[in-house]
Amino acid sequence: MHSPTAAADSTRRDSPFRPGYAALPGYAAAPPGYAALPNFSVPVPHPVMMRGGSRRSMLAGLCTFQAFLLMYLYFFSRFVQFLRLCTFQTFLLMYLYFFSRFVQFLRLCTFQTFLLMYLYFFSRFVQFLRLCTFQTFLLMYLYFFSRFVQFLRLCTFQTFLLMYLYFFSRFVQFLRLCTFQAFLLMYLYFFSRFVQFLRLCTFQTILLMYLYFFSRFVQFLRLCTFQTFLLMYLYFFSRFVQFLRLCTFQTFLLMYLYFFSRFVQFLRLCTFQTFLLMYLYFFSRFVQFLRLCTFQTFLLMYLYFFSRFVQFLRLCTFQTFLLMYLYFFSRFVQFLRLCTFQTFLLMYLYFFSRFVQFLRLCTFQTFLLMYLYFFSRFVQFLRLCTFQAFLLMYLYFFSRFVQFLRLCTFQTILLMYLYFFSRFVQFLRLCTFQAFLLMYLYFFSRFVQFLRLCTFLLMYLYFFSRFVQFLRLCTFQTFLLMYLYFFSRFVQFLRLCTFQTFLLMYLYFFSRFVQFLRLCTFQTFLLMYLYFFSRFVQFLRLCTFQAFLLMYLYFFSRFVQFLRLCTFQAFLLMYLYFFSRFVQFLRPCTFQTFLLMYLYFFSSSAPCDKGKMIPKEGSQYVYDAENRAYQYDRNMPLIFIGGVPRSGTTLARVMLDAHPSIRCGEETRVIPRILAMQVQWRRSTKEKSRLEEAGVTDEVLDDAISSFVLEVIAKHGEAAPYLCNKDPFTHKSTVYLSSLFPNAKFILMLRDGRAAVHSMITRKVTITGFDLTSYRNSLTKWNQAIENMYSQCVQVGPTKCMPVQYEQLVLHPKEWMERILTFLQIPWDEAVLHHQDFIGKPGGASLSKIERSTDQVVKPVNLDALTSWVGHIPDDVVRDMPYIAPMLQRLGYDPRQNPPDYGKPDAVVLENTKKLKGQEYQYNPDLVPAQVAVPGHPGDVNPPLGDVGEGKGQMEAPGVGENAQEQPQGEKRMDNVPVPPA
């Protein structure tokens, strides 16, 4: 029998995430910052809710965080250990006695019992999540989610299928029979908490979940045969469709929250490469099939898919329809948001343009054939379709089209307009009254009938709320387009329409709404208020003055113009149905009714922001020499270049500086300092507590630091479309900078540690923590520093951080600059290969007076510095190199190879090296101000801010880093290898 302490120690030893626990002072002790927390307490339920309920409530109300943590460690962690070792039979036994009985309890329990369980378990857990630090949250995550993920890695398909049958299928059966209270319990305990977790979790946590679930599934799709895929389909999707037919709305909501909403969140954060992978395996293959298939093949596909799909639509419930919507069209719309114009053009050419070309060339008979099989059947479908079928048409065509309008460019809008709307307008001009009446009867009159019978809430959710969301995001051009074709034409219609026509429009829309208000209950009225007025008020709070002015001009000013032109009869009609009815309502209403109306309309409409600072929204701009404005903000694609000093960061930045669209500039030197101060503030419990007492929370610090960093980068040099920063030690804060600037990208320069340390020692580059008299000490510190930077680069992921080896950049500059620019998603420019021609010129690379790599970066890329370290490192250090600097092996360098073989250089690099050896490179001192000698004595070094190896606040000293003054050595060289003195 192990003691609790032994069990906890065993857990710590066995955990693959050992460093995550090292920061915790102890399982039984409260983490830092919790000593002053108040006790959690909730209202004590009535004793009849559960036997012994009052005693438990008193006990729960008094327990401290330490008690809660102790309970967690002894119950949940032991349960996790049990799960590791137990067999399936043991687990099944546990399931039958605990979960199945719990399910039976949920079926029979009253709402009071449910509320009791909720208050004592989950509400407290939610409070815990709000106040817990990241370390505490990480502990909970490691014990629950990471263990489950590890299980998924190793389990076979049979094991997974077994897990599915015992958990999901039984859970589905439970959902069919459970009451709404039971479903609400499940939702509150599982899904709402998980949603809150997703909101707060970092991109790394999201990425972890994605890699183990979705990426593995994608890898499976790549390799699986058609038979395997068919098997997966039969067991999962076909049965799932059958389940959808019978499931209730609660069941569908469960499925949606677990699968689709998570997938939508993934699409928002995923990079274009990840999304492109999904597209290539699903949509592009389908496009290739369409290119090659014959008409017979297409007809076959149509008969088996589309015609059956139409039959399915007639019988399917709303839940089934929503499933289809989420899988096909909503995903396609999200693709349209992120895809580039080239991707969209490709889709257009294969689908829409070919269809348009077909329409141009087809005869009337061909068109009639197409109409009969597609449109006429669709019209017949509209006549008989239920509300669900009509909703399908709306969701697939109109709502998706509106979402497409939000993000598409004006060219795309114009293209769509020319082929669709302009032709439709021409049709309206030429069509007879009978043709127009036919179109009206099949589309608008059916829609009016739909409005009569449908519930108000459904109509609002699918039509008005989406339209409001569209107004928030759409550009002026998009809104203007929508206005011209919809609202302006409607206004023109109002001007010309007779009183009878106006009355008809009023009776079908406004009078029905008035009748609805008369009969609606308070709950219905409250619902209407919440969806219309409260959301509109929230919109007004967040919208800028420009957005509000736009809304006013297009809605209110047009309405005012309408009032000016309308006759007295029209105005009287509007008054009688709106204002007079409202006055009649006010006369008989009691004080309570009036107070209720006031609270829900007038008081709720007034924004209450007392005690809360709301930053004034506005764009920030910088201007170049030609007075062109460039907007900058936290979401812009910043570029950060970093690495250990003497690793080629200066070369990388001057090569990028030569690009006409990129400006890096000199080292700012203040950015790593502010980042180091931020690390110190968060490391020090005492300092963090003082800041929080003063109201300087992490959010305040993050906003201030991001603004500081952004302003320094934007304004310390010329304006350019892409801004870049080169401060070597900023990459010790890669993860933090990635959270501040979500679209930033990082280039981590890597160099053979032996060469980097040799350069530091020979050039007297003073760095806190490095002993420049000892190769062994300096290599150890280099190993710690590069390990910290490289691990953070891996943590943010390959889509945000790109490691670049200095040796490969020198040997193959064109290949690696192409890779770098592709990674940055910046067009290629040959200027990056001739950086020496742009130094000191407008739009080129500028050098500081104290930069010490000037004599190197003014030269073209050459091989002079690759192997200059050979023969200078002591023999004992060379012998112990694999143990002193293990990161060499991890980064692809052979620690035992001396001299090393980095590869064969490109011909242009050899030519540059020969020219430099044959004649001294012509250095023009007028391009760069004279060098300012900065002594390398300890007085120039900042006070230590932490150890380099741990990455805790370390920063380069003034005058050190990538650019250090070279000390004359007078050494002889033969084939770029130093010759030791005799």
Per residue in 108-164, pLDDT tens?
Answer: 665 556 555 555 555 555 555 556 555 555 555 554 554 555 555 555 555 555 555
Q: How many residues does the chain have?
A: 982
pLDDT for residue 731: 94
pLDDT, tens digit (0-9, with 9 covering 90-100), for 565-597: 565 655 555 555 555 555 555 555 655 565 565
pLDDT for residue 550: 56
Given a cut of 50, whether residue 939 has pLDDT beyond it is no
pLDDT, tens digit (0-9, with 9 covering 90-100), for 462-502: 455 545 555 555 555 555 555 554 554 555 555 555 555 55
More reliable by pLDDT, 314 or 849: 849
pLDDT, tens digit (0-9, with 9 covering 90-100), for 664-723: 988 888 999 999 998 888 888 888 888 888 888 888 999 999 999 999 999 888 888 899
Strands 722-726 and 801-805: unpaired
* pLDDT range class, residue 630, cuts 50, 70, 90: confident
Provide the Cα torsion 217, 221, 226, 227; round to 10°.
-30
φ and ψ at residue 871, rounded to 5 degrees: 90, 0
User: What is the C-alpha separation between 836 and 556, in angstroms, rounded?
Assistant: 60
Looking at mean pLDDT, say which of 522-536, 557-571, 903-917, 931-945 comes out highest. 903-917
Written as six digits, the tokens of 49 are 């809710």
pLDDT for residue 45: 36
Q: Are 140 and 215 in contact (CB under 8 A)?
A: no
Catalytic residue flag (residue 666): no
CA angle 791, 796, 801 (to 5 degrees): 85
Q: Using a CB cutoff of 8 Å and minimum separation of 24, what contacts does 539-548 make?
A: 539/468, 539/472, 540/607, 541/607, 541/609, 543/472, 544/617, 547/472
| Cβ atoms within 10 Å of 377's Cβ, excluding its own | 13
Determine the average pLDDT of the residues in 229-243: 50
* pLDDT range class, residue 611, cuts 50, 70, 90: very low
Q: Are 649 and 642 in contact (CB under 8 A)?
A: yes
Given a cut of 80, whether residue 891 has pLDDT beyond it is yes
User: What is the C-alpha separation between 147 and 158, in angstroms, rounded?
Assistant: 19
* pLDDT range class, residue 522, cuts 50, 70, 90: low
pLDDT for residue 518: 53
Share of the chain above pLDDT 70, in %: 29
Among residues 712, 738, 707, the alpha carbon closest in space to that of 725 is found at 712
φ and ψ at residue 749, rounded to 5 degrees: -80, 125
User: CA distances (Å), 553 to each of 203, 207, 462, 483, 631, in order?
Assistant: 40, 44, 25, 11, 26
Q: In what order do the strands lie in the sheet with 745-750?
A: 662-663, 722-726, 639-642, 745-750, 801-805
* pLDDT range class, residue 767, cuts 50, 70, 90: confident
Given a cut of 90, whether residue 737 has pLDDT beyond it is yes
Q: Which residues contact 156 (CB under 8 A, 6 or more apart)?
A: none
* 628-946+957-979 belongs to CATH 3.90.1150.10: no
Share of the chain above pLDDT 90, in %: 18
* pLDDT range class, residue 503, cuts 50, 70, 90: low
More reliable by pLDDT, 245 or 877: 877
Burial class (CB in 10 A: 0-12, 13-18, 19+), 646: buried
pLDDT for residue 39: 37
User: What is the C-alpha separation between 17 and 28, in angstroms, rounded?
Assistant: 19
Burial class (CB in 10 A: 0-12, 13-18, 19+), 570: middle
Given a cut of 50, whether residue 615 has pLDDT beyond it is no
Q: Which residues contact 479 (CB under 8 A, 6 or more apart)?
A: 471, 550, 554
User: What is the C-alpha separation between 663 and 657, in angstroms, rounded?
Assistant: 5
Among residues 929, 939, 982, the alpha carbon closest in space to that of 960 is found at 939
Which string of DSSP letters, residue by residue, matches 482-525? HIIIIIHHHHHHHHH--HHHHHHHHIIIIIHHHHHHHH--HHHH
User: CA distances (Å), 172 to each of 166, 169, 189, in order?
Assistant: 10, 5, 17
Q: Which residues contact 154 (CB under 8 A, 6 or more apart)?
A: none
φ and ψ at residue 401, rounded to 5 degrees: -65, -40
Q: Is the peptide bond before 860 cis (omega within 30 degrees of 0)?
A: no
* pLDDT range class, residue 904, cuts 50, 70, 90: very high
pLDDT for residue 723: 94
Determine the average pLDDT of the residues in 343-363: 48
* pLDDT range class, residue 285, cuts 50, 70, 90: very low
Q: Out of 331-335, 664-668, 817-821, 850-854, which region has the weakest mean confidence (pLDDT)?
A: 331-335
Determine the average pLDDT of the residues in 7-29: 35
Q: Out of 411-415, 532-536, 603-607, which region has the weakest mean confidence (pLDDT)?
A: 603-607
Task: Give the largest Cα separation in the chain, rounded.
Answer: 112
pLDDT for residue 899: 86
pLDDT for residue 281: 43
User: What is the C-alpha separation between 859 and 836, in angstroms, rounded?
Assistant: 6
Q: Which residues contact 719 (CB under 8 A, 6 or more apart)?
A: 622, 623, 624, 628, 630, 663
Count the helices and strands in the chain (H runs, E runs). Answer: 65, 9
Q: Are 382 and 393 in contact (CB under 8 A)?
A: yes
Name the catalytic one among 667, 807, 956, 962.
667
More reliable by pLDDT, 421 or 28: 421
User: What is the C-alpha separation between 757 and 763, in angstroms, rounded?
Assistant: 10
User: What is the C-alpha separation between 647 and 84, in angstroms, rounded?
Assistant: 45
User: What is the C-alpha separation between 345 and 353, in angstroms, rounded?
Assistant: 9
More reliable by pLDDT, 450 or 763: 763
More reliable by pLDDT, 267 or 740: 740
* Domain extent listing, the chain: 628-946+957-979
Q: Are 700 and 762 in contact (CB under 8 A)?
A: no
Which string of DSSP letters, residue by residue, matches 922-960? ---GGGSPPP-----SGGGSPPP-S-TTTTSS--PPTT-
Q: Are 980 and 972 in contact (CB under 8 A)?
A: no
Q: Which residues contact 620 (CB under 8 A, 6 or more apart)?
A: 631, 632, 633, 714
Determine the average pLDDT of the residues in 937-954: 36
Q: Which residues contact 194 (CB under 8 A, 6 or more apart)?
A: 257
Written as six digits, the tokens of 605 are 């409409």
pLDDT for residue 642: 95
* pLDDT range class, residue 67, cuts 50, 70, 90: low
Written as six digits, the tokens of 932 are 């300012």
More reliable by pLDDT, 684 or 938: 684
User: What is the C-alpha separation between 213 and 228, in angstroms, rounded?
Assistant: 18
3-state secondary structure 241-297: HHHHHHCCHHHHHHHHHHHHHHHHHHHHHCCHHHHHHHHHHHHHHHHHHHHHCCHHH
Determine the average pLDDT of the residues in 607-615: 38
Given a cut of 50, whether residue 41 has pLDDT beyond it is no
Determine the average pLDDT of the residues in 366-383: 48
Q: Which residues contact 730 (CB under 8 A, 6 or more apart)?
A: 640, 642, 671, 672, 675, 737
**Average predicted confidence (pLDDT) for the chain:** 61
Among residues 685, 753, 672, the alpha carbon closest in space to that of 713 is found at 672
Q: Are 866 and 812 in contact (CB under 8 A)?
A: no
Say which DSSP state 839 is in.
B
pLDDT, tens digit (0-9, with 9 covering 90-100), for 166-195: 555 555 555 555 555 555 555 455 545 555
pLDDT for residue 320: 52
Q: Are 764 and 656 in contact (CB under 8 A)?
A: no
Determine the average pLDDT of the residues in 526-533: 52
Q: Are 730 and 675 in contact (CB under 8 A)?
A: yes
